[in-house]
Amino acid sequence: MTSTIPQARTGYTVPAVVGAQLCVPLVTGDRIGYANLDHAASAPCLERVRDAVNELLPWYASVHRGAGLASQVSTRVYEQARDTLRRFVGARSSDTVVFTRNTTDSLNLLARSLPRRTAVVLFDTEHHAALLPWRGPNVRRVRTPDSAGAAVPALEAALRECPQGPRLVVVTGASNVTGELWPVAELAQVARRHGARIVLDAAQLAPHRPVDIKALDVDYVVLSGHKLYAPFGAGALIGRADWLQAADPYLVGGGATKNVVDWGDHLGVAWSAVPERHEAGSPNVAGVHALAAACDTFIQHGWDQVEAHERTLLARLREGLATVPGLHELSLFDAEHDRVGVVSFTIDGLDAGLVAAALSAEYGIGVRDGAFCAHIATRRLLGRAGSTEQRALRASLGLGSTAEHVDRLVGALRRLVAEGPRAAYHQVDGRWVPVDDQRPLPPFVAG
């Protein structure tokens, strides 16, 4: 049964996360409940995921080819997880599920499995995981327009210019910088008209909204467990098998090989079929089981309460941030565009890194500062906002977020604007930290 916790002042019930009662020390010597507003980087572990992993660990053993009962149990758990992932993304019966480390690993695997001379089209504000794996003369990077509607004709124009042959469109579901949703279904229709396949980077979308391969009409979906409340090192590439089946594995070793023969001057290798073809080495059965448990939690719980909880907090957050003097919210498209619970912003006259450090040390709030592994997107939006800075602040909501967290952030930012940090800070290795920071670390952290 799914463990749940009522979230204060939203009125909605969502799956419970580990660490919801975590208290952290402040530079004042006090302690306060941790306000985790950095879900977009890595989400906390679901209680159900923790319990599922603990349940598996006594049975943990090698996956595939083991005769022992524990190996057979681990193998069944690993293979059953593929069915759970298929249900989670509404996959076609013919789609394969390849387990990877994360979204980055999944996209690099797909990039190395493309047929020769595949033309790749993507927008230039993608996360680096989706921006960088595609190399060579057949890659078209389309400048992201100022409106979501304009993305459709921009893709149409780019595909018209592509050479004949296989084509792949790369698109994100939700921006990791602004949270704004991309018109995936409409972009998929354009791809279809031009005989192109499309891969959906669902790393930021899947933890917040349902993903349906068939409804969106995409060919591949990639996602990460650590974004999806399953921080045990597993991700997945889900989609059509033919390109993956035709490609040599980019990671070779045990499991990827069906047969190896010594021909004297060279080794003859017959690769396994997908998905094992691209899962060389000892599989991460605990991570895969955790990912499946997270997906199953969302399937069982449903999305209505999750979405309503987040929309309530997001509206509260954006309304509160609008009251902070000198704060500028970043947006790819427009302020009213639909988005998940991610907000990036700058504050006039305040260094983003210093603000993030003060929020942590003085208020017990975790946010992200930087360019969020989407340098082109972040710096372009900073320029559009009239900022000369190269870094922004990002607050991101999730299942562990509460109204008190949001209100504490808004109040802290207003105080920082009015009075500045209360503690003294200096830079160490390029990061702002409190001078003579005496906050105790937990005992399991060395030194």
Q: Give the pLDDT confidence of 258-300 residue by residue, as tens digits.
A: 999 988 888 889 999 999 999 999 999 999 999 999 999 999 9
Q: What is the pLDDT of residue 136?
A: 87
152 part of a folded domain:
yes
Q: What is the pLDDT of residue 317?
A: 98
443 part of a folded domain:
no
446 part of a folded domain:
no
**Which residue among 257, 285, 301 closes a domain?**
301
In a shared domain, residues 250 and 308: no
In a shared domain, residues 355 and 425: yes
In a shared domain, residues 29 and 142: no
- Mean pLDDT across the chain, nearest whole number? 95
* Total domains in the fold of the chain: 2
pLDDT in tens, 361-403: 999 999 999 999 999 999 999 998 777 778 999 999 999 999 9
295 part of a folded domain:
yes
Q: What is the pLDDT of residue 216?
A: 98
Residue 109 has pLDDT above 60, yes or no: yes
Q: What is the pLDDT of residue 3?
A: 46
* CATH number assigned to the domain comprising residue 225: 3.40.640.10
Residue 9 has pLDDT above 70, yes or no: no
In a shared domain, residues 155 and 274: yes
Residue 145 has pLDDT above 90, yes or no: yes
What mean pLDDT is predicted for residues 220-230?
A: 98
In a shared domain, residues 92 and 231: yes
What confidence tier does 7 reach under pLDDT thresholds 50, 70, 90? very low
In a shared domain, residues 331 and 252: no
What mean pLDDT is predicted for residues 245-255?
A: 93
What confidence tier does 415 reach under pLDDT thresholds 50, 70, 90? very high
* CATH number assigned to the domain comprising residue 364: 3.90.1150.10
In a shared domain, residues 264 and 116: yes
Range of the domain at 165: 49-301
**Which residue among 267, 301, 335 closes a domain?**
301
440 part of a folded domain:
no
In a shared domain, residues 60 and 166: yes
70 part of a folded domain:
yes
Residue 445 has pLDDT above 50, yes or no: yes
What confidence tier does 447 reach under pLDDT thresholds 50, 70, 90? low
Residue 189 has pLDDT above 60, yes or no: yes
Q: What is the pLDDT of residue 384?
A: 86
445 part of a folded domain:
no
Pairing of strands 197-201, 167-172: parallel
In a shared domain, residues 294 and 306: no
Q: What is the pLDDT of residue 4?
A: 44
89 part of a folded domain:
yes
Residue 1 has pLDDT above 70, yes or no: no
Residue 144 has pLDDT above 70, yes or no: yes
In a shared domain, residues 306 and 293: no
In a shared domain, residues 252 and 271: yes
In a shared domain, residues 34 and 146: no
Residue 404 has pLDDT above 70, yes or no: yes
Active-site residues, by number, are 373
**Which residue among 267, 285, 301 closes a domain?**
301
